[in-house]
Amino acid sequence: MLVYRTLVVPALGQAMCQWDCGWYISIVEHGYDATARFVADCCWQANWAFFPLLPLLVAGLQAVIGGSPAALGVAVSTACLFAFVVLGSQLRRHTRQEASPWGWIAFVLCWPFGFYFHALYTEALFAALATAALLALVRGWPWLAAAATGALCATRPTGVLLAAWVGLRQLGLIWRGQTLRQRLVALGPALLAPLGLFAFMAFLQLKLGDALAFQHIQAGWGRTGSNPLRVLMAPFGALLRGQPVPEDLYFAAWALLGGAATLWLCRRRYFAEAWLCGMPVLLALCSGQLISMPRFVSTNPAFLLAAADCFLLLRSPLLRGVLLLGMVLLQAWLVLAWQQSPRFLM
């Protein structure tokens, strides 16, 4: 057991720690930067772009049991993955009337891009919290939905999208309220939902004098405002000119997949899921960059719900089994590729 803890676990954490993982470790170990730094002969960057809930969880666990942040991040993310799987099965039982959860469970655990859910990234935490919020909305528990959304807003900036959904839903209840008490009760979840974002903004204002530092520093990654349609179509325009960039075409294809999943969810009248699926894609395109689009889409819980819908339409157990096996093999290859930090998996 000692060998496992001192050699195997840290090695696993290090192997899974690529790209943005280093930024989260910097927050765990040193807190948020006081100033931006010039990174990799490229540009001025800082860890303000990364929201605090995940590093807080890892730092808290480290304070209790010790260990390396990378390895603890694997543990936290893996626990969040299983929470997402369980909550997703409950959500599907209420929205899809699925009698058995095993098809959904097998699909998520075999999903080729599921390795992101084990790294020190926010993907698993975001998926668990967003699914908890969606389930609470379906069950008619607005305060629980708002609490999960508040935590979501401290996890990633796109958490504000679900906060807006909760807020609009509660505004409808306020409008229909018959008494002042009913309206005040309905207002509470709307105020709670974005609290995680407001708390982070207050912290940045006190530390840096800029409540929107998390947004302003995005310029260091080349993310500035742009026409989303132009960003999406640019790789296809290059293809028509005979100057294709395969990596950009791959990124754009994932954006289109996210749009297709959004339409699928709308068609099936899962409108909150459609909002959660489509709006992050649109915001990413508005940033002027396609990079990381495969990760943004493939780990979006609403996208996975839509993809699982399509998978479960297959009636042949043999065909399902073959597809799951293919997904597992692809995930194994992607895990090996991930350890080499390829740009297409950023």
Res. 278: pLDDT tops 50: yes
Residue predicted with more confidence, 104 or 17? 104
What is the distance between the alpha carbons of residues 67 and 23, in angstroms, rounded to a whole number?
18
What pLDDT is attached to residue 41? Answer: 63
Q: With cut-offs at 50, 70 and 90, classify the pLDDT of residue 2.
A: very low
Rounded to the nearest 10°, the torsion over CA 244, 245, 250, 252 is -80
What pLDDT does residue 89 have?
98
- pLDDT (tens digit per residue) in 214-245: 998 887 777 777 899 999 999 999 999 999 99
CA distance 264 to 304: 12
CA dihedral 85, 88, 89, 90 (to 10 degrees): 130
pLDDT value, residue 10: 60
Q: What is the mean pLDDT of residues 80-99?
A: 97
Q: Cα separation of 205 and 218, whole Å?
A: 17
Non-local (6+) Cβ contacts of 74 within 8 A are 9, 12, 13, 16, 118, 119, 120
SS3 assignment, position 44: strand
pLDDT band at 5 (very low <50, low <70, confident <90, very high): very low
Please tell me the distance from the alpha carbon of residue 313 to that of residue 49, in angstroms, as a whole number.
39
What distance in Å separates the CA atoms of residue 255 and residue 286, rounded to the nearest whole number?
Answer: 12
pLDDT interval class at 8 (50, 70, 90)? very low
* Distance in Å from the first CA to the final CA of the chain: 33
**Is-contact 36 81, C-beta < 8 A?**
no
Query: Exposed e or buried b for every residue in 119-136, given b needs 16+ CB within 10 A?
Result: bbbbbbbbbbbbbbbbbb
Of 39-48, 60-69, 153-162, the poorest mean pLDDT is in 39-48
State pLDDT tens for residues 168-220: 998 887 887 777 777 887 889 999 999 999 999 999 999 999 999 999 888 77
Banded pLDDT at 6 (limits 50, 70, 90): very low
Looking at residue 177, what is its pLDDT? 74
Is residue 275 pLDDT above 50, yes or no? yes
Query: What is the identity of the amino acid at 195?
Result: L
| Residue whose token pair is 């899962």 | 270
- Please, what is the average pLDDT of the chain? 92
Per-residue pLDDT, 3: 33
Q: What is the mean pLDDT of residues 148-152?
A: 98
Structure tokens at 131: 């699914």
pLDDT beyond 80 at 39: no
Average pLDDT value for residue range 151-165: 96
What angle in degrees, to the nearest 10, is found between the helix axes of 195-208 and 159-176? 130
Helix (H, G, I), strand (E, B) or coil at 108: helix
Q: pLDDT by residue (tens digit) across 284-334?
A: 999 888 989 999 999 999 999 999 999 999 999 999 999 999 999 999 999
**Stretch 40-54: mean pLDDT, rounded?**
86
Q: Residue 9: is its pLDDT beyond 70?
A: no
Query: What's the Cα-to-Cα distance from 56 to each of 18, 26, 41, 63, rounded to whole Å?
Result: 19, 12, 30, 10
Residue 1 has pLDDT above 70, yes or no: no
| Whole-model pTM over 0.85 | yes
Give the sign of the dihedral formed by CA 93, CA 96, CA 102, CA 108: negative
**Dmax of the chain from CA atoms?**
65
Confidence of residue 150 (pLDDT cuts 50, 70, 90): very high
Per cent of the chain over pLDDT 90 is: 78
